[in-house]
Chain A
């Protein structure tokens, strides 16, 4: 795919909004160098956006956090918007979400503010094009890696975005997501957690609280991690020798308030953890706005694995 050279600047950023980032599936095979994973905070909605425009798994699309982004098309494009409802409009008319639509040359696509959920995904048939850095275009601002400029810059006013030419686009697959595939971000989230890591070191009371509390999503939440507030959890050990930490890991610093680690987390960390969210639950958490409530529910690895494999089977691909 990457050898394809027929790309042209065909989208212009009129207004950038707080945070819009190019994301492919992430940066892999370099974590031992201290390089984080990156990739879509909500892999479920990201994958559906690609799927609806016939792009393969791994194609880069735009993660739009909170809204505020305005783009104009330089030619007709087939697109899909999934994920959060950020009040998107095409020339002031509401954009139907979770389906393939045509964005006509000269029309302005605008994202306003969250109606439900936090992050929307915009996929373009033919795929956005950027030079991969360390094997990926995933944009990690903290590491100055990836994105359209290769240096981790979020979208800025005046940016020209490149899209692979129309000849390269595939059009197989559905044009509408079925109703049951569309998450309802207005419903309070129950997040599946695989117990593990240092769970044995937490007090019984803390483990009871962990799974029987409506946790509040704090405003200290970003692509590195999401802090939850609620009862204070206590662990018999307060810090560990730093070790590799994975997506969805739930770590508890000495203040007893858990932090769920997301895509741009540091690669190693030294706080005790009592488990990891399943990949799809980490995605769900990434759609929560500060102040929303979530519950943790223990899940076995067989159940989590079959959920994840069914999700990936939709996209008919073998690897990342």
Chain B
């Protein structure tokens, strides 16, 4: 279990009239996650209806409250009170486990060879390394349901593309730096594409909308083209970079 930084005033930074950034850690670590699930729950209890949003991300939690009900000074006191005796959630069963069926193929993962060359290994090794690991969701952002996951095996780390694609197809499974992700909607993007998942990552009809939440565990499971198609995956090739 990672050590909480010392309780100190610098842990809270103003993010405006209606919010505080609670900075618990300096570095990205999956052991941070049980602290944030505990802190989020305690904030929900303490703020009740005055809580507007909670945005956890890697090392921080943004707490957004209704300034008509709670002043910034009151909110700060409430958060300090929580931090004084905060304990992390038990780390054994935090976060749901998701298996994302993924078709790894150059037609939908045009950067498989780039990542392989960068790592000086074969494409099949890239797939093996990427799909063997269980990732944790550190943050959601960029687009609805877009989950930043990590940390990647250092052997397949690869910098993002110099020129982003104008449109990354929905379901694209990608990596950049030491993180991996799957695109919930067609958006611009500069990550290396390895394949495509048939999982519906963001669905406005589903309770909770996003398949993945901060703290969840994710594994990419290689499937054949047939299986990918049967699950509703779109096999239209990704346009190569210009």
Task: List A residues at the B interface (Cβ < 8 Å).
Answer: 28-35, 133-134, 142-145, 194-198, 241-249, 266-269, 275-279, 301, 304-305, 308-309, 312, 318-320
Binding site for A on B (CB under 8 A): 13-19, 21, 23, 27-28, 49, 52-62, 64, 66-69, 71-73, 139-148, 185, 202, 204, 208-210, 213-214
Within the complex, the shortest CB–CB distance from B183 to chain A, in Å, comes to 12
Q: Is A276 within 8 A of B52, CB to CB?
A: no
A305 lies within 8 A of B57 (CB): no
Query: With A and B bound together, what is the CA distance between A16 and B103 in angstroms?
Result: 42
Partner of B69 from the list A243, A275, A278, A319 (CB cut-off 8 Å) is A319
Task: Report whether A279 and B17 are in contact in the complex, using a CB–CB cutoff of 8 Å.
Answer: yes
Q: A318's contact among B68, B148, B204, by CB below 8 Å, is which?
A: B68
Shortest beta-carbon distance, B24 to chain A, in Å?
A: 11
How far does the Cβ of B29 sit from chain A's closest Cβ, in whole Å? 11
> Nearest residue in B to A31 (C-beta to C-beta)?
B53
CB pair B17–A32 under 8 Å, yes or no, is no
Contact (Cβ within 8 A) B213 A32: yes
B15–A196 contact, CB under 8 A? Answer: yes
A32 to B210, CA, bound (A): 10
Q: Given A194-B17, A246-B16, A301-B14 in contact, is the A32-B56 Cβ separation under 8 Å?
A: yes
CB-defined contacts of A32 to chain B, threshold 8 Å: 53-56, 140, 213-214
Give the Cβ gap from A139 to chain B, nearest Cβ, in Å: 14
A34 and B210 within 8 A (CB): yes
The 4 closest A-B pairs by CB, nearest first: A244-B62, A196-B14, A244-B55, A276-B16
B-chain residues with CB within 8 Å of residue A278 when the two chains form the complex: 16-17
Return the contact of B141 from the options A28, A242, A279 (Cβ within 8 A).
Answer: A242
Chain B nearest CB: distance from A37 CB in Å? 8
Q: Are B64 and A31 in contact (CB under 8 A)?
A: yes
Contacts of A194 in B (CB 8 A): 14, 16-17
Closest to A150 in B: B204
Contact B13 A198 (CB under 8 A): yes
Q: Is the CB of A319 within 8 A of B145?
A: no
Contact in complex: A301, B69 (CB < 8 Å): no
Residues of chain B within 8 A of A242, CB atoms compared? 57-58, 139, 141, 148
B72: A residues at CB distance < 8 A: 301, 305
Q: Shortest beta-carbon distance, B117 to chain A, in Å? A: 27
List, in ascending order, chain A residues with CB within 8 A of B54's CB: 31-32
15 A-B pairs whose Cβ atoms sit less than 8 Å apart in the complex: A34-B144, A142-B143, A196-B13, A196-B14, A241-B60, A243-B62, A244-B19, A246-B62, A249-B16, A266-B141, A278-B16, A279-B16, A305-B72, A309-B67, A318-B69
Q: How far is the CA of A202 from the CA of B110 in the complex (A)?
A: 41
Known: A134-B204, A143-B144, A267-B140. A319 touches B15 (CB 8 A): no
Contact (Cβ within 8 A) B141 A268:
yes
**Chain A residues with CB under 8 A of B14:** 194-197, 275-276, 301
- Which residue of chain A has the shortest Cβ distance to B52 in the bound complex? A28
User: What CA separation (Å) do A198 and B68 show in the bound complex?
Assistant: 26
B15→A34 contact, CB < 8 A: no
Residue of B nearest to A247 (CB): B16
